Structure 1
């Protein structure tokens, strides 16, 4: 069951084998497969996996999808395909593209060998923020481990050096002045906005050098966990005026007021933040090591789409991310962090007096 591609590839997959997914994911997968078949004008695709998928296909009347207990030929492993966005029609289009891309995604023993030479250095001039650095270092470290690349290095912004120092990297190092370097920014630019933040660079490197892509890239552990100092009754809020996703001032003030009714509030932000939010708040500036210790000991974290939000997610800090931009994009970036919840600004407005 293969079909000539409408997008330039030799064939599109029509057989899919799903892992033991929860029912919510089965709903998304059934709808996504039907959308995929319609979009690419495939008469029918087949899927195996949890029996709930078959029940849902029948319940929703997805004539384009057939549930089977076993396939007659090779099938694409759904566990090797990025998760759906769970966000309406845009999410279904995204999943459709991912399933079509599975025609060229190797899995298991069929993965092509990586062409990334050991010891290569990637230079970053544009992607030099904390969130970028966390994704770059984490994605590259997992890529090297999964593809037997002995070592790789990054260079550019000092934040890259700090992240390499803080995270327990075995194969990725920081080089201040390399003699030769690969343009890392060009690789990063190829990454898809449809996958979680930590997955993005891992997939971009795979697209460039081949090899095996990691899906659901786990955060790297800390090189040295700060000694426990007890939990502080503190909520850290990151609403930086310099952020492109900072909420309106009036909303931010009301949100901080509500949080302050339950715990002490300390605001993380750049030098422009006091002028943005007011001088009557407690502001904190800290280096990365200290910020890690503070986040690990705090009660809660509240922020917008920012590097500190990604850091909180990597550390497993419970928190809330308020999306002030495109909710689907923010959610897709943060959905890999089990400890964080993402809500749109409009929903947060309802909760405030």
Structure 2
């Protein structure tokens, strides 16, 4: 048996044991381990942990990561979410660097393909809501323009089809489901949480396929500018009951009361939101084109971290995004929208009181 010289760098670790992490952190960990394996030329790494972690690894097709029930020792313990996954630095490169730093392994590089192939169809089943669709289509459109890719397609959810129809896409189209489609969810899962929302998919495509990367993706223009009615004396509020960052009911009711003292208030939301907030409020539920027209005509938008918040930012609607999660993470998602300010819940209640 050949002994490794004492001054040589240790082997990067390949066995990890995760604690019972939230699903969002499981997504980061699974994709982060795949990025880590590719970067350092490991055939695969093994990880144990909550069952959701194994399901995500299989769903995203992360061949570099093997989920196991238990590990032979030694294994690197991931006991809890490191703070550096949050506070504006959350992301796969950060995670990969942390793992390497822990093992004192030398830096390495991964060869990437030239660019995303023309005509590729990207399928999305998990990332299928309005905010995801805005980021996917916008990031992909800029990527194709910057890298001279004539045309690609997305498929999956009605939200993707609506965004492609409403916003001016020259190189991204919507296509029917295809057996040959590439998993866009797997690519999205590799994106960094430290980037603004519209930048995320652009960077994950660049990381996967190579090509020019843009560090400030601008919102797409509307395909057809609607006739702008006279500005309504209306404040639109959106406190999505289904959101992972929904406002507490008491706080949401208090904010509605404070805003209503200064003019008309309409709540954007469906039956879930009505059940959550009560029936003594005016609710608006509309398809995307009508929602665009309403937002463009309103006096102010107040919402949480949600798809409609990102839509308001893309349309340059003046407004407030109330952060109920980690403030720095919410701010990083919204920081390229010049018209929106992100404030903590306590500050929103103070300003509107």
Give the alignment's TM-score, normalised by structure 2. Answer: 0.69
CA contact (8 A) 1:112 1:212 kept: no
Q: Does 1:137 align with 2:171?
A: no
Distance of 1:324 and 1:300 partners within structure 2: 20
The 1:224/1:301 distance shift into structure 2, 3 A limit, reads same
Give the alignment's TM-score, normalised by structure 1. Answer: 0.69
CA contact (8 A) 2:89 2:194 kept: no
Structure 1 gap segments, 5+ residues each: 9-86, 106-110
CA contact (8 A) 1:269 1:284 kept: yes
Q: What's the counterpart of residue 296 of structure 1?
A: 296
User: What do residues 175-199 of structure 1 show as CA deviations (whole Å, max 9, x unaligned)?
Assistant: 0232410000000000000010000
Q: What's the counterpart of residue 166 of structure 2?
A: 166
Structure 2 gap segments, 5+ residues each: 1-8, 13-83, 99-106
Q: What's the counterpart of residue 249 of structure 1?
A: 249
The CA deviation at 1:257 is 1.0
CA contact (8 A) 1:241 1:270 kept: no
Q: Does 1:258 align with 2:254?
A: no
Q: Does 1:272 align with 2:297?
A: no
CA contact (8 A) 2:90 2:194 kept: no
The 1:218/1:104 distance shift into structure 2, 3 A limit, reads farther
CA contact (8 A) 2:112 2:208 kept: no
Partner SS for 2:322: strand
The CA deviation at 1:229 is 1.2
Q: What's the counterpart of residue 117 of structure 1?
A: 117
CA contact (8 A) 1:139 1:201 kept: yes
Distance of 1:227 and 1:300 partners within structure 2: 19
The 1:349/1:300 distance shift into structure 2, 3 A limit, reads closer
Distance of 2:90 and 2:188 partners within structure 1: 22
Question: RMSD of aligned C-alpha atoms?
Answer: 2.9
CA contact (8 A) 1:114 1:147 kept: no
The CA deviation at 1:347 is 2.1
Distance of 1:279 and 1:351 partners within structure 2: 26
Q: What's the counterpart of residue 225 of structure 2?
A: 225
User: What do residues 141-182 of structure 1 show as CA deviations (whole Å, max 9, x unaligned)?
Assistant: 000110111110000011100000001000000002324100
The CA deviation at 1:273 is 1.4
Q: What's the counterpart of residue 77 of structure 1?
A: none
1:75-94 correspondence to structure 2 within 5 Å: 90-91=87-88
